[in-house]
A and B are shown apart, each in its own frame.
Chain A
Amino acid sequence: MYNSPFPPWTPQLVQDEIDALKHEPGALLPILHAIQDRFGHIPREAVPLIAESLQLTRAEVHGVISFYHHFRTSPPGRHVVQICRAEACQARGARALESHARETLGIDYHQTTADREITLEPVYCLGNCACGPSLRVDDRILARVTPERFDRLVDELTTQVLKVS
């Protein structure tokens, strides 16, 4: 069975995150990060709570969430895999890696595999530009990722899950 790595959110838990940070100057981004770090995404229902607490309109809060590529409003899969699409990685074969990844996972960017194991996202540079193609799995960064290495990684990620469940 699929286990989410994140606990389910409740209005109270979301409010706790907001209350911990709302007095900071420019608190909105830190609050959004805190919510996403904890629950894996920013639930739509969090928007009115944030708006109320920071005395902003809902439209303003929504406008900020949608502006930044990092924030997502629906839960991701168990692992988030980001592939670097930027020039230094392109020069070392990132384009081939991208198409391989999309083909083998059967999804496009910003989508999650049917078994909810992997969410695929593009990223523009991980600062590992001398040893690309680069990839980030959750908080781990990998260097010189070939299509073969990508397949092994996906295997590893999915077999680990079997052990846990």
Chain B
Amino acid sequence: MTTRLFVPRETTALALGADEVAERIEAEAEARGVEVELVRNGSRGLFWLEPLVEVETPAGRIAYGPVAPEDVAGLLDAGLLEGSATSPLCQGPTEEIPYLQAQQRLTFSRIGVTDPLSLEDYCAHDGFRGLRRALGLDSQAIIDEVKASGLRGRGGAAFPTGIKWQTVLDAPAAQKYIVCNADEGDSGTFADRLVMECDPYLLIEGMAIAGLAVGATQGYVYLRSEYPLAQEIFNEAIARAEAAGYLGGDILGSGQAFHLEVRLGAGAYICGEETSLLESLEGKRGMVRFKPPLPAIEGLFGQPTVVNNVLSLAAVPFILGDGGQAYADYGMGRSRGTLALQLAGNVQRGGLVELAFGTTLRQLMEEFGGGTFTGRPLRAVQVGGPLGAYLPESQWDLPLDYEAFAEVGAVLGHGGVVMFDDTVDMAEQARFAMEFCTVESCGKCTPCRIGSVRGVEVIDRIRAGERREANLALLADLCETMVDGSLCAMGGMTPFPVQSVMKHFPDDLQRDAQPR
């Protein structure tokens, strides 16, 4: 009898040795003369347990982790193939691991469960249900469904997706485009990568539906060059989807066309900004464009273009499959549906947590994250990437909701939650925010290009104890100038982390820098 085993093939699992574990299992099985079938699934996103090995038993899938290659022989001795619970690495039935069980996975319902490249597996788990339904609807009806879901863009700006699509539908043009923003530049985020590596047909389905909704026959995925495995897996998925008729000139015999291509970025954070991204796709420097015109009116090659984040597009198959209302039933206030939170940095149990909007940051960091990795007290949390504020303990009870965060000058962004313990030097973090802007500014406007360089210098003077009060006042001024005078959020939000340090962690700016 052949036993099915699952060993993830996903960047973090591989970075922790999943390939070596898979090899060891095959070698041991052969030596023992037992038959195993290894499935290289995606990751469930429970990274502290990776490599997470699962075995299929009559009682469901049983999880073991984190498994090192040298654990394999012992696990087999202890009855891995029967799903025995005698090994301390046994986590019990996968679906019952509390971290997973407590989530509300709509977009990520399939990740880690299936073989990412198997179309059969995808279809067996509700895949292409949304697309099939969309093929029977007219454009306006598809968009109405998305509007009813209340979905707001998950890339950062939280603009309503249905309204964006409506603008593109209403713009008359011979050629329109769907552009997927897979630049995922924020530190602490990996959810876009997980979709592309672990459930690529989900994004393909979402983009095809977007194409039907606005009348676009060509899509591009702009993927960052830092994600080589995502590129490999996603390209293979496109080829297979095309061969099976889910993409191409005649989607599932409907007479409707949608073509998809991946384009690689080249290491520029600013190319995540949608107009820079379009410039880059056109083969130019990634310089931010003035708006208006909006990309929805004049986007790629001057044509009406939907630019959406991976997670926005990946939410669409559920919305079409189950109806917009089913999605809107999750969430709070004007933040509908679920949010993909990514627990990162100094965290005990890091990973992907999909939850309806409204949970508090503290619940997330304590109940899911289990506190810091080092076991030291948590001191600061940066939410929403390098342009997001650092939140002190007094703000950890904020509900995860776009408006609640905006009220305190914070952002949810792409859902990255980066935890720092009490060894962090917040002056150093403030300096880094400015430094990052000097490296990544597109250079188009002065407050951002020059202001960030000045920002680094002023913080250095503060840390050196040089006319500290005067320089702190100068830094406050500089931040205001950048917020008010920058053309885009790169320069306009770089002050957020800096200002949050000045406000909530002022002592660190009063101390001389520790020599390293």
Contacts and interface: CB of A to CB of B under 8 A. Distances in A.
9 contacts: A26-B301, A29-B280, A63-B285, A64-B285, A126-B226, A127-B193, A129-B187, A129-B189, A129-B418
A27 B429 CA distance: 38
A129 B187 CA distance: 7
Contact of A129 (B50, B282, B350): B350
Contact of A127 (B189, B281, B420): B189
Given A70-B266, A70-B267, A131 B16 contact: yes
A130 B351 contact: yes
B11 interface: yes
Interface size class of B (residues with CB under 8 A): 35 or more
Contacts of B94: none
B132 to A, nearest CB: 30
Nearest to A64: B285
A128 interface: yes
Given A67-B268, A92-B346, A141-B15, A129 B190 contact: yes
Contacts of A99: 516
A69 B347 CA distance: 30
Contact of A68 (B15, B266, B432): B266
B345 A127 contact: no
Interface string B266-293: 1111000000000011111110000000
Interface stretch (A12-20, A83-91, A112-120): A83-91
Contact of A128 (B11, B373, B429, B439): B11
Contact of B263 (A26, A67, A124): A26
Nearest to A96: B516
Contacts of A26: 263, 281-283, 301
A143 interface: yes
B345 A88 contact: yes
A142 interface: yes
Interface in B282-335: 282-286, 301
A141 B190 CA distance: 14
Interface string B336-350: 000000111111001
Contacts of B263: 26, 29-30
A29 B386 contact: no
Given A71-B266, A125-B185, A127-B227, A87 B418 contact: yes
A131 B47 contact: yes
B190 A91 contact: no
B401 interface: no
A111 to B, nearest CB: 17
B471 interface: no
Interface string A140-153: 11111000000000
A38 interface: no
Interface of B: 11-12, 14-16, 47-48, 50, 184-190, 193, 225-229, 263-269, 280-286, 301, 342-347, 350-351, 373, 382, 386, 416, 418-421, 424, 429, 432, 436, 439-440, 516
Contacts of B429: 87, 90
Given A89-B187, A92-B345, 19 more contacts: A26-B281, A29-B280, A29-B281, A33-B225, A69-B267, A70-B267, A87-B187, A91-B344, A91-B419, A91-B420, A123-B267, A124-B440, A125-B226, A129-B190, A129-B416, A130-B345, A131-B350, A140-B14, A143-B15
Contacts of A30: 263-264
Contacts of B432: 87, 90
B276 to A, nearest CB: 10
Contacts of A92: 345-346, 373
B15 A142 contact: yes
Given A69-B267, A88-B188, A25 B301 contact: yes
Given A63-B285, A92-B345, A128 B225 contact: no
A29 B281 CA distance: 8
B5 to A, nearest CB: 22
Interface of A: 25-30, 32-33, 54, 63-64, 67-71, 86-92, 95, 99, 123-132, 134, 136, 139-144
A46 B207 CA distance: 36
A87 B345 contact: yes
A131 B343 CA distance: 10
A135 B339 CA distance: 28
B418 A88 contact: yes
Nearest to A60: B284
Given A91-B345, A131-B350, A67 B11 contact: no
Contacts of A89: 187
Given A64-B283, A67-B285, A123 B226 contact: yes
Given A29-B263, A126-B226, A131 B12 contact: yes
Contacts of B228: 139
Most B-side CB within 10 Å, residue of A70, A124, A144: A124
Contacts of A129: 187-190, 342, 344-345, 350, 416, 418
Contact of B12 (A86, A123, A128): A128
Contacts of A140: 14
A41 B496 CA distance: 37
A30 to B, nearest CB: 7
A70 B228 CA distance: 13
Contacts of A128: 11-12, 15, 190
Contact of B283 (A29, A86, A88): A29
A30 B386 CA distance: 28
Contacts of A64: 283-285
